[in-house]
Amino acid sequence: MRFVRIACFCAIVLTHGQASCQEPLSGNALIFSTDASLAPTSDSVNQNYTVRNIIIAGNRKTNPNIILRELSFQIDEAYPLEQITKKFQKARRQLMNTGLFTDVTVSLQSLSGFDVYVKIEVLEKWYIWPQPFLRTVDKNFHEWWSDKNRSMDRINYGIRLTHNNFTGRNDKLKINVMNGYTRQIALEYYGLYLDNQLRWSVNGGFSIGQNREVNYMTRANKPVPIKDNNQFLRTYNSWFAEVSFRPALKTKHTFGISYSAEDFADTIFKLNPYFSPSTSVLHSPQLSYKLTYFDVDYIPYPTKGYMGEISIKKRGFGFNDPINLWQLSAKGSGSWPINQKYFFNLRAVGMLKLPFRQPYVTRQFIGYEDQYIQGYEYYVIDGVAGGYTKASITRQLLNTKLRINSKRFKSLNYIPLRFYAKTFVNAGFVYSRHAGENELTNTPLYSGGVGLDIVTYNDFVIKIEWSVNRLGENGLYLHRRNNF
């Protein structure tokens, strides 16, 4: 009977051509493997099979519980064989989205009666990244190259140390030491688990620093700086603490508290009386809540599925705090395959700040952090309400793997490399009570263009884009992440 069941399942696989009896990473014979593109869809096998054991291999650093946490099936649970193979596909996708592995194979290793034995084989990434850096102080490389005449005086240097799997429990440690035009020391830690079910975790960090240059206003939709090579115009320190709750696989709730204290030079307030409501040290306590959801094939560069984020922030409390801000923001992305090569992606971002009367330091929107509209990379757009959408049609050009034979650094033996060509359009609008000399505020924004995206090792995304905006300006831009 066991031979008949195995033969039947393999016949289904071969008939549909969507799974295969093939070799895993280790070379052991399999009955079913997620190296195939899709699971079989036949309902010929409807008997429930029980998962009796889950074998994990290849995890030299990663704790096995971190891998088991991402599975939608556990030991002693029973499912039809067809449903088990679908859960294999989902398990591989979840494990790849942890950011810990370059490859994952989930295998139906053997059948014994109605008992199923599963093997999960992972290929771990290189987790420790010490990165010396030279970085411009400007908003982006294009601004430094074009507007600041490639001035070497506007360079920061230092080292950034990142460990993406510090204790083997998918926790991250980041240390940043910077000198030059800006001085900063920062430490952040994410993912200290509080329970055995890995649902509750805490994050925290702090930073201290000084800036020789401060943007004190926006004119013509470009930040206007004041600088002093002899002294620092801004001195700051800040800290944050967060508690995260992830009850299942796709949704996470994060509750946070933070505090910052910033001391600005008097010159800034003389140049812009609306820079801040406080002319001394700007104390800024904040409470926040964030809900994140993802159900995509690959978080760094999704080609199928949905992901989103909603956050609420309250900055400033009581009459003694100079800042009074309620901020609601939302982000969403959907990707739909058109065929095997093409997919359509739609992204949207919205933000509302209350009350509408806000100082300059809390009006930043487009052009800050990860929010930008293609074609407007040279600009910043301040406001208290607004949003934008991005739509693109993308075609995969190449999907390959670079193999480097290294016995010492096995995690670097397998380097994925994918190329995508795309065309895109954007539309947006930002509202401000007082636009001043900023013509891109309180007016429709739109742009379009074409680009080439490169996705490679360690979730690294390079985006080379040519775009044209509503002002008739066009240019070639480089982005190093797949941000909103």
Whether residue 237 contacts residue 259, with contact meaning beta carbons closer than 8 Å, is answered with no
**212 vs 452: which has the higher pLDDT:** 452
- pLDDT of amino acid 40: 45
Closest Cα partner for 299 from 464, 99, 150, 163?
99
Q: Are residues 100 and 156 in the same domain?
A: no
Alpha carbons 48 and 50: distance in angstroms, whole number? 7
Q: Structural domain tally of the chain?
A: 2
With respect to residue 228, please indicate whether it lies within any of the assigned structural domains: yes
Residue 478 has pLDDT above 80, yes or no: yes
With respect to residue 455, please indicate whether it lies within any of the assigned structural domains: no
Q: Are residues 131 and 103 in the same domain?
A: no
Q: Are residues 220 and 259 in the same domain?
A: yes
> Last residue of a domain, which of 84, 102, 124?
124
Q: Are residues 76 and 185 in the same domain?
A: no
**264 vs 141: which has the higher pLDDT:** 264
Whether residue 249 contacts residue 70, with contact meaning beta carbons closer than 8 Å, is answered with yes
Q: What are the beta bridge partners of residue 312?
A: 289, 328
- pLDDT digit string (tens) for 217-242? 999 999 998 988 788 899 999 999 99
State the amino acid at position 100 in one-letter form.
Answer: L
Residue 6: band (very low, low, confident or very high) from pLDDT cuts 50, 70, 90: very low
The SS3 call for residue 9 is helix
- pLDDT of amino acid 406: 67
- pLDDT digit string (tens) for 326-336? 999 999 999 99
- pLDDT of amino acid 149: 62
Q: Are residues 91 and 204 in the same domain?
A: no
Range of the structural domain that residue 65 is part of: 2-124
Please compute the mean of the pLDDT values over residues 268-282 and round it to a whole number. Answer: 88
Please compute the mean of the pLDDT values over residues 391-404 and round it to a whole number. Answer: 91
With respect to residue 382, please indicate whether it lies within any of the assigned structural domains: no
With respect to residue 394, please indicate whether it lies within any of the assigned structural domains: no
- pLDDT digit string (tens) for 146-164? 666 666 666 788 999 999 9
Please compute the mean of the pLDDT values over residues 438-447 and round it to a whole number. Answer: 96
- pLDDT of amino acid 168: 96
Closest Cα partner for 370 from 347, 344, 396?
347
Closest Cα partner for 371 from 455, 302, 430?
430
Alpha carbons 90 and 74: distance in angstroms, whole number? 13
Mean pLDDT of the chain: 87
With respect to residue 397, please indicate whether it lies within any of the assigned structural domains: no
- pLDDT of amino acid 194: 96
Q: Are residues 137 and 248 in the same domain?
A: yes
In the chain, the percentage of residues whose pLDDT exceeds 70 is 85
The SS3 call for residue 22 is coil
Q: Are residues 168 and 209 in the same domain?
A: yes
Q: Are residues 150 and 175 in the same domain?
A: yes
> Last residue of a domain, which of 275, 309, 341?
275
Alpha carbons 71 and 64: distance in angstroms, whole number? 11
Residue 374's φ and ψ, nearest 5 degrees, are -60, 135
Q: Which two tokens stand for residue 80?
A: 């039809």
Alpha carbons 265 and 275: distance in angstroms, whole number? 12
Q: Which two tokens stand for residue 94?
A: 């979840």
The SS3 call for residue 112 is strand
How far are the Cα atoms of 72, 229, 246 from residue 293, in angstroms, in the given order? 16, 45, 10
With respect to residue 439, please indicate whether it lies within any of the assigned structural domains: no
Please compute the mean of the pLDDT values over residues 201-230 and round it to a whole number. Answer: 92
With respect to residue 448, please indicate whether it lies within any of the assigned structural domains: no
The SS3 call for residue 14 is helix
Closest Cα partner for 32 from 86, 93, 90?
86
Residue 435: band (very low, low, confident or very high) from pLDDT cuts 50, 70, 90: confident
Q: Are residues 257 and 225 in the same domain?
A: yes
> Last residue of a domain, which of 227, 246, 275?
275
- pLDDT of amino acid 47: 86
Whether residue 332 contacts residue 302, with contact meaning beta carbons closer than 8 Å, is answered with no
Residue 470's φ and ψ, nearest 5 degrees, are -70, -15
Whether residue 430 contacts residue 442, with contact meaning beta carbons closer than 8 Å, is answered with yes
**201 vs 17: which has the higher pLDDT:** 201
**295 vs 320: which has the higher pLDDT:** 295
- pLDDT of amino acid 148: 62
Q: Are residues 108 and 165 in the same domain?
A: no
What number of residues does the chain have? 484
With respect to residue 80, please indicate whether it lies within any of the assigned structural domains: yes
Prediction pTM value: 0.85
What is the CATH classification number for the domain harbouring 69?
3.10.20.310
Q: Are residues 118 and 130 in the same domain?
A: no
Q: Are residues 167 and 270 in the same domain?
A: yes
Alpha carbons 431 and 384: distance in angstroms, whole number? 6
